[in-house]
């Protein structure tokens, strides 16, 4: 499974890129706003660090303006992916951008039918917001299973991104289902290498080493 980092913070992106564990980046308007920087400058800086797909979201809500914004973003770097909200206008924009070979990521997907339409329109990626479904008392992973089945049934090329990840178990569940990608916040990526038995094991090895007899 590919892992993307879900952040617009360049320091976080550099730290995870240096560890070789991320295959791409997703941003959204809330994450970009936190950085207080011009979107195009920020995306250019991220693309210089990460070779994989880097998602940047359009702010327009009608098809024509979405396509105009998307074309400008796509000029920044070849690996920029245009995030488009899941609406009828968004689907029309996806269709136009697909015909121009501009990669898209349909965002804010909460139902199997939305994911089906995103794939039919020609989306490169479909982002399923599992955490926000869980927040409402649903089960976000049910949606991931359903969408993976639908895409398999009809051999759609659209890749499933498990988004709105809230904890490391979401990443485990996504990988067991066979989702193509999980996009994970920095704070959760940081937790993934941790295990108390690893820490105990390191301490025990060090203690034994210090207490033992050895050469060198
Ligand atoms: C996905 O691309 C979004 O940026 C993100 O996963 C949203 O997560 P949230 O529900 O924690 O805001």
Ligand 1 mutation target, pool 163, 174, 180, 181, most atoms within 8 A of CB: 163
Phi, psi values for residue 187, rounded to 5°: -60, -35
Phi, psi values for residue 71, rounded to 5°: -60, -40
Query: What residues act catalytically?
Result: 83
**pTM of the complete model:** 0.95
Residue 68 near residue 74 (C-beta atoms within 8 A): no
In a domain, residue 11? The reply is: yes
In a domain, residue 34? The reply is: yes
Ligand 1: nearest atom to the Cα of 27: 4
Q: How far apart are CA 57 and CA 73, in angstroms?
A: 9
Residue 197: what pLDDT? 98
In a domain, residue 101? The reply is: yes
Q: How far apart are CA 18 and CA 5, in angstroms?
A: 13
Ligand 1: nearest atom to the Cα of 131: 10
Residue bearing the CA closest to ligand 1, atom 10: 164
Distances (CA, A) of 6 to 54, 55, 162, 193, 197: 10, 9, 11, 17, 28
Residue 213: what pLDDT? 66
In a domain, residue 216? The reply is: no
Find the 6 Cα to ligand 1 centroid distance in Å: 7
Residue 212: what pLDDT? 78
In a domain, residue 215? The reply is: no
CATH code at position 124 = 3.20.20.70
User: Domain range holding 119?
Assistant: 2-210
Find the 7 Cα to ligand 1 centroid distance in Å: 9
Residue bearing the CA closest to ligand 1, atom 5: 164
Classify 57 as helix, strand or coil. Answer: strand
Residue bearing the CA closest to ligand 1, atom 9: 164
Count: domains in the chain: 1
Centre a 10 Å sphere on the Cβ of residue 64 and count the other Cβ atoms it contains. 12
Residue 215: what pLDDT? 59
Query: Could you read off the pLDDT tens digit of each residue along the chain, which spans 216 residues?
Result: 999 999 999 999 999 999 999 999 999 999 999 999 999 999 999 999 999 999 999 999 999 999 999 999 999 999 999 999 999 999 999 999 999 999 999 999 999 999 999 999 999 999 999 999 999 999 999 999 999 999 999 999 999 999 999 999 999 999 999 999 999 999 999 999 999 999 999 999 999 999 876 655
Residue 12 near residue 46 (C-beta atoms within 8 A): no
In a domain, residue 48? The reply is: yes
Residue bearing the CA closest to ligand 1, atom 7: 164
Using CB distances shorter than 6 Å, the residues near ligand 1 are 6, 26, 28, 107, 127, 129, 131-132, 163-164, 183
Q: How far apart are CA 106 and CA 160, in angstroms?
A: 10
Reported as half-sphere exposure (CB side, CA atoms, 13 A), residue 139 has a value of: 6
């Amino acid at each position: 499974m590919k892992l993307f980092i879900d952040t617009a913070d360049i320091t976080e992106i550099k730290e995870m890129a240096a560890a070789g564990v991320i295959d791409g980046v997703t941003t959204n308007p809330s994450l970009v706003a936190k950085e207080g920087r011009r979107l195009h400058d920020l995306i250019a800086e991220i693309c210089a660090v990460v070779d994989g797909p880097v998602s940047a979201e359009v702010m327009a809500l009608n098809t024509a303006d979405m396509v105009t914004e998307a074309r400008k973003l796509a000029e920044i770097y070849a690996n920029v992916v245009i995030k488009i909200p899941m609406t009828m206008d968004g689907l029309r924009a996806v269709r136009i951008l697909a015909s121009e070979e501009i990669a898209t990521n349909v965002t804010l997907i909460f139902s199997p039918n939305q994911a089906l339409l995103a794939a039919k329109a020609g989306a490169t990626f479909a982002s399923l917001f599992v955490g926000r479904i869980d927040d409402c008392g649903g089960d976000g992973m049910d949606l991931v299973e359903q969408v993976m089945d639908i895409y398999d049934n009809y051999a759609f090329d659209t890749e499933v991104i498990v988004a709105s990840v809230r904890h490391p178990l979401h990443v485990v569940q996504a990988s067991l289902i066979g989702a193509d990608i999980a996009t994970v916040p920095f704070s959760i990526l940081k937790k993934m290498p941790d295990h108390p038995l690893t820490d105990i094991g390191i301490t025990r090895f060090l203690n034994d080493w210090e207490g033992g007899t050895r050469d060198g």
